């Protein structure tokens, strides 16, 4: 899908190094101020190494979409995952939106909307009817964004950041509304 200055496309294996860099930067930008350096380092080491990104891109249970500028620079990504579903999610044929991250300079500029649209399309192509996500209870901007997109709070689940057990809100909507 083409937008002015960037497009959304399926990620390919050669995106692994770029995704590792973008993933680490956006994770730090979002969470470093509210977490200890130790917990951040522990999480980043396992989640955003280039090797880990290569594994995730090769995982048939995951679908990764990227927003790339016309110059080829990655400015955002979204990832769907078929897997375990928390009890709070009761709708049919669920899929998880595991990640949605946009580079700070592109917040509020429609890139997140474009990624969400593409993620919903990909979820429908996978036969999903319900889409759910976990979002840190202390991430008001993301929660506001998901509410704008019709996601509703159905409960909570734990998320381990390094050694810190945190509470995520669990939010759900139908893929096609
Ligand atoms: C979450 C994210 C993808 C949303 O994209 P975005 O382009 O920033 O989205 P929007 O600009 O539409 O913001 C969503 C809403 O948040 C609200 N908002 C903006 N800044 C806010 C702030 N500092 N605090 C609380 N709410 C805020 C606004 O109400 C806005 O809605 P509006 O357009 O009606 O005013 C993007 O901010 C992001 O990548 N953040 C960092 C990573 C992240 O938190 N990912 C989600 C992890 S679960």
73-86 pLDDT, tens digit each = 999 999 999 999 99
- Is the pLDDT at 3 greater than 90? The verdict is no
Residues with Cβ within 8 Å of 107's Cβ and at least 6 positions away in sequence, in order, are 141
Say which residue the tokens 């990624």 belong to.
115
Atom of ligand 1 nearest to the CA of 135: 48
CA-CA distance, 87 to 157, in Å (whole number)? 9
Per-residue pLDDT, 2: 73
Position with higher pLDDT, 49 vs 171: 171
Supply the DSSP symbol for 90.
-
Percent of the chain with pLDDT over 70: 99
Residue 156: strand, helix, or coil: strand
Q: What does the pLDDT read at residue 50?
A: 92
Write the residue with the smallest CA distance to atom 22 of ligand 1.
Answer: 141
Q: Is 144 helix (H, G, I), strand (E, B) or coil?
A: helix
pLDDT digit string, tens, across residues 155-175: 999 999 999 999 999 999 999
Find the 147 Cα to ligand 1 centroid distance in Å.
10
Q: List the structure tokens of 175.
A: 């893929």
pLDDT tens by residue, 93-125: 999 999 999 999 999 999 999 999 999 999 999
**Is the sign of the CA dihedral 111, 174, 99, 10 positive or negative?**
negative
Predicted pLDDT at 104: 97
Identify the residues whose C-beta falls under 6 Å from ligand 1: 26, 30, 100-102, 107-108, 112, 135, 139-142, 144-145, 148
Pick from 132, 137, 136: nearest CA to 149: 132
pLDDT band at 152 (very low <50, low <70, confident <90, very high): very high
Distance from residue 122's CA to the centre of ligand 1 (Å): 22
CA distance 161 to 114: 28
Residue nearest to atom 45 of ligand 1 (CA): 101
Number of the ligand 1 atom closest to the C-alpha atom of 103: 39
Whole-number average pLDDT of the chain: 96
Place of tokens 């500029």: 109
- CA dist 113 and 164 (Å) reads 31
């Amino acid at each position: 899908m083409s937008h002015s200055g960037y497009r959304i496309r399926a990620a390919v294996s050669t995106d692994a190094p770029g995704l590792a860099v973008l993933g680490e930067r956006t994770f730090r930008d979002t969470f470093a101020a509210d977490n200890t350096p130790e917990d951040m380092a522990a999480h980043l080491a396992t989640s955003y190494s280039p090797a880990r990104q290569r594994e995730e891109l090769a995982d048939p249970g995951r679908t990764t979409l990227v927003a790339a500028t016309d110059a080829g620079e990655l400015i955002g990504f979204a990832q769907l995952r078929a897997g375990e579903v928390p009890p709070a999610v009761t709708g049919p044929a669920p899929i998880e939106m595991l990640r949605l991250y946009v580079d700070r300079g592109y917040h509020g500029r429609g890139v997140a909307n474009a990624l969400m649209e593409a993620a919903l399309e990909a979820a429908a192509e996978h036969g999903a009817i319900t889409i759910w996500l976990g979002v840190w209870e202390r991430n008001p901007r993301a929660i506001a964004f998901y509410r704008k997109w019709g996601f509703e709070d159905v409960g909570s689940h734990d998320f381990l950041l390094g050694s810190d057990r945190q509470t995520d809100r669990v939010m759900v909507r139908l893929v096609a509304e």
